Structure formats: structure tokens, C-alpha cells
Amino acid sequence: MSDLLIRNCGVLNVTFDARAFVLHEHDILIGGGRIEAVQPTGQADPSHFREVIDGTGLLAMPGLINCHAHVPMVIFRGLAEDVSIERWFNDYMWPLESNLQPDDVYWGMQLGLAEMIRAGVTSVADHYFFMDEAAKAVEKAGTRALLGWAIFGSGGREMVERSAEFVADWQGAADGRIRTLMAPHAPYTCDDDYLRACLKEAQRLGVGIHIHVSEEMGQTRASLEKRGLTPIQVCEQVGLFSQPTIIAHACGALPEDMPILAKHGVGIAHAPKTYLKLAMGTAPVLEFRRNGIPVGLATDGAVSNNTLDIWESLRLMAMTQKQAAASPEVLTIPEALTIATRESARVIGLPDELGALEPGYLADVILVDLKGIHHQPLHSQTASLVYNTAASDVRTTIVNGRVLMRDRQLLTLDEAEIVVRVRANMARLAQRVPNQRIQVYNP
């Protein structure tokens, strides 16, 4: 007996050289949380599997990966609109987060994970506070996560130790679905010594680092003025990149940063909706890729991105890169799908385990329904994936071989309870007391 058979679906293949095509009428055989085989329908005997899903008319693809989020921030969504980045931080986000209690993170994480399971997002690299609570939510939801407890220099050595404890406590938990790393907030909120302290813990624990760097060009300019170094150069000088590192945003990366990022294999998390909404310009994705630097998709938090929908990130990335390059011929559909799959897996440090439906890979699989009228007639499945697919087109979400959503029904989370729990605190969460902000933005 094996665990799960997905019968008679299309299977999206994205090759390392960025070709994308669909195998028709194939089965996916899953056992021990991994893909055992992908083969033409008709060869596997359904009676040999504990569970069979009929994939007829559906397209299987790797579960989507959100390479940078602050998932529990969904509890504040819609509270900071149409404001400058400075006001977004100083008058909204950081005052709002002074209301945060551990229980908010537990329920907020569940809320965001429910949204992501519904959208076919199976992995998230999350960067937030009270992360024990976030980890408990991931354990319950059944998804995969790379978790870091966000800390600021103002938190002192105590918070370095606290976040290192979190790393040690949860590394490999939930059947290996949870991995952890150190998560200093940014070079502008953590001085060099503080970054070094984080690095030391990361080295001691054998984990990576997840940090905001060069989020937008203003930060890069400020760093150059203050220290003659770009924020990426600062991180390198501190030695941060000696550990596997995820950088969020890097819209302010300069040409001189490219060889540094390439040399250390630093991964870039790209969240284009945030960049548009906050008018941050865009990241040099094409240049990262020309330099062999991995780029993965992200949503950032829901207070800037509003949703945790990686489909929207996918198409916005493709479109904003075309616009930035003044050429509709760049960032093609196959390349966009490569970034959404294999490259995002590289960014979160699982290049040979996620991002493809191949034997030996972890069984994080989603089934997408392209029969909706907004896809018809379906001349190109790959074009529809990038430009037409909505979160609501995802029918089934599987992580580690376990079905988390079947036919739009969540199986691990109680949405009604989650919503009730979060709503109960809306008034408290929406309070803004500027002098109670958790930090000051002044890069």
C-alpha cells in the first residue's frame, strides 16, 4: 500500500532552462510524504493506495511558495492605506503592532495560513513576532514553513537569545515541515554588532538568516551617505552571507551589489504588489537573474499587499518587469513559472525538494481548475496560469502527501472559529497610539 494517488491530471513541468509544458493524463504517486512517480494514467492500480484523488480536468503543479511574509499581519489588513512609507511605519504599522499579543499571532497565523491553503500556497518563509505561536499554527495547519522571529537592535541581546531559542526549539518540528532561521529585521534597525550576534547564533545553530535589505532606493542612498556602503555591502562586511540568506525586497540593489549576492548565493524574495502600492520602484529581477541570483515570489505582509495571493505576485512580477524593461518580451511565461516553482524553492533553501513534481521531491502538490469561463477557450495552459488564474481556481492543496484542502474544503483548520477569534479583537487591534510604536522608521 502506498499513500496517495492523484489520477488522470495534467502535470506542469518546468525545466531548469525555463521551458514550461504540461504532461496530459498522468498519475502522481505519493508515499512517505514524497512523490514516488509521475507516469501516464493506466499503469497504477488505485487499490494499492490508501487514498485516491480524481484529477480529471485538473492541472497538478508544485505548491506555491511565499518567500517572504508576515502572515499574522493579516489581523491588521486594510488599516494603513494610501500613506507614505514613513507614515506607513511610524503612524500605522509600528503603533498598531504595539497592540500585539501572543494569541493574536496564533489566530492571525491560522487566518493567513487558511487564506494561503485556499490559494495553493503550501510553503511560507515567515518573519514576525511571538513565533512559537506561529509555529503552533503551522503545526496545526499542516503546511510547510521557514520561520524566523523578527528582532530589532532595540530588543537587545535578550531578544537574540529568545529568537535563537525559538530556532532550536522548532527546527525540524512537525515531521520536518517546520524549519527555522534567525530573522534580524534590517540593517537600519540592527547595528553591525547586533547583526553579528544574530550571525553567531545562526552559525552555532546551523541555520540561515532572513532579513530586509535595501528595501527601496532611499535606504540604499541613506546607507551610502552614512557609511559609504550599500546595505548589501554592510551585510557582507558583517559576514551575514556566510550563512544561507534570504533578502526581502532589494528594490534598492545597485550593480555593485550583484557580484556579492551571486558569490554567496543570497536569495531574493520579490513582493511586487507592495512595491507598486508603496511606490517603491521595482527590484532589478532581470539583473539578479542574469547574475545567477535566485529570485522567488512573495507577498510581504497583508497590510501592504492586502492578500497573501502568490498568483497575484506572479503576474505582477512578470508585468512590472516588462514595464521596467520597456519590453513586453522579457520575463516570459516559462520564466515566470520557473521563478514561481524551482527558483522560489531555491530561495527558501530546498532546491532539490520543492518546486517540481518529480520522483523524490516532497509531495507538496496543488490541483488547479482551468475550466472556469475566465480561462476559456484554453489555448495556453501556461499563459492561463500566469495571467488568468485566481486563488479560487485552486481545488485541492496537498502538503507532505497530506490533503489540506479538498475541493475547496479546508480539512485542518476551522475557518469559522478563526474568523470569530480574530474579529473579537478588531477594536483593540485597530488602536493607534503613535508614541507606543514598537520602532521608529528612520533608515
Looking up cell 493506466 gives 42
CA distance 45 to 38: 14
Contacts with a copy of itself, 278-307, as mask; x by CB under 8 A: xx-xx-----------------------xx
- Compute the 3-state secondary structure of the chain and give helix, strand, coil in percent, each to the nearest 5: 45, 25, 30
Instruction: Name which position in 23, 222, 224, 319 contacts a copy of itself (CB under 8 A).
Output: 319
364 lies in the site for a copy of itself, by CB under 8 A? no
DSSP string, 299-330: ---HHHHSS--HHHHHHHHHHHHHHHHT-TTS
| Of residues 396-415, those binding a copy of itself (CB under 8 A) | 415
The least distance separating a copy of itself from the CB of residue 330, rounded to whole angstroms, comes to 8
Task: Decide whether 210 or 212 has the Cβ nearer to a copy of itself.
Answer: 212
66 lies in the site for a copy of itself, by CB under 8 A? no
Instruction: Name which position in 226, 263, 374, 428 contacts a copy of itself (CB under 8 A).
Output: 374
Q: What are phi and psi of 132, to 5 degrees?
A: -55, -40
Cell of 315: 503576474
Task: Decide whether 344 or 388 has the Cβ nearer to a copy of itself.
Answer: 388
Residue 60: strand pairing partners: 11, 367
DSSP string, 328-383: TTSS-HHHHHHIIIIIHHHHTT-TTTSSS--TTSB--EEEEE--SGGG-S-S-HHH
| Of residues 220-279, those binding a copy of itself (CB under 8 A) | 273, 275-279
Task: Decide whether 233 or 313 has the Cβ nearer to a copy of itself.
Answer: 313
328 lies in the site for a copy of itself, by CB under 8 A? yes
332 lies in the site for a copy of itself, by CB under 8 A? yes
168 lies in the site for a copy of itself, by CB under 8 A? no
Residue 29: strand pairing partners: 5, 37
Q: For CA atoms 66, 72, 77, 80, give the dihedral sign.
A: negative
433 lies in the site for a copy of itself, by CB under 8 A? no
CA distance 183 to 246: 10
Instruction: Name which position in 42, 169, 378, 433 contacts a copy of itself (CB under 8 A).
Output: 378
User: What is the three-class DSSP state of 23?
Assistant: strand
| Of residues 72-131, those binding a copy of itself (CB under 8 A) | 74-79, 81-85, 88, 111, 114-115, 118-119
387 burial (CB, 10 Å; 0-12 / 13-18 / 19+) is middle
11 lies in the site for a copy of itself, by CB under 8 A? no
The least distance separating a copy of itself from the CB of residue 306, rounded to whole angstroms, comes to 4
Task: Decide whether 76 or 129 has the Cβ nearer to a copy of itself.
Answer: 76
Residues that bind a copy of itself (CB under 8 A): 74-79, 81-85, 88, 111, 114-115, 118-119, 273, 275-279, 281-282, 306-309, 319-320, 322-323, 325-329, 332-333, 373-374, 376-380, 383-384, 387-388, 390-392, 415, 418-419, 422-423, 426, 429-430
